[in-house]
Amino acid sequence: MNKIIQSKYVKELENRGVNPLSGEGCQLGWRIDTDVSPKAKEHVESFYGGMKLTHYGFNGWAFDGEKYHASRTRAYKDHKLKAGWSTHDGWCFKLHRDHIEKLLVYLVLNQDNPYVVVMVEGGHKDNMRFEPILLVFDKQEEFESFRMGVNAETPPDTDDEALEQGFLVQKRQEWSDFSYSYQFGHQSGENVHGWTGKRIS
């Protein structure tokens, strides 16, 4: 199980090939200039139902043979290309702030192939702030432990992190109207019309 808190969403996007650069690129203030690695390009286009990225990126990407690293200034040591790495310019688009979590979930589903992603709402209660979180379960057994925790009557006396997270989610629901939802890996989403089966991207 992997727990991703909201303050880590941008870093997790970057790790998956989508690098939000600045909120100042759009005078509306709703969209963020965002670089996309060559590997993530197809997923971003698919997320938006077949939108095609047409503009080259700003900072470029370095590829170490396994992973893309965002921003040339951070991808190099002392501004020199590391041995065995190659570079790619990548692409760019403006990411709507409201889509950060949803795009991250889509990338997790399509790049990491988990069993299920649980999206837990954030909010405020009694002068306390609860960050939104994503719980990524690789195995069905982990998710079943989480569900047991959601329905547990007492705090779990175990080291099972999935069970513990389920109990904490249950407490959030008791404290306020926090909700959570599931996105199963096998439903990661192809852009196919639901009635006709026609592909739209």
Q: What is the pLDDT of residues 45-90, one digit of tens each?
A: 999 988 899 999 888 898 888 888 887 766 666 667 777 888 888 9
In a domain, 110, yes or no: no
- For the segment 26-52, the average pLDDT, to the nearest whole number, is 89
What pLDDT does 142 receive? 95
pLDDT value of position 38:
94
Number of domains in the chain: 1
179 inside domain: no
Query: What local confidence, expressed as pLDDT, does residue 76 receive?
Result: 67
178 in any annotated domain: no
Q: Which domain holds residue 77?
A: 9-97
| Residue 35 maps to a domain | yes
pLDDT digits (tens, 9 = 90+) for 106-126: 999 999 999 999 999 887 777
Considering the entire predicted model, what is its pTM? 0.88
Q: What is the pLDDT of residue 191?
A: 78
Cα 53 to Cα 41, 56, 63, 168, 200: the distances in Å are: 7, 8, 20, 40, 16
pLDDT value of residue 112:
92
Give a yes or no: residue 106 inside a domain.
no
Whole-angstrom Cα Rg for the chain: 19
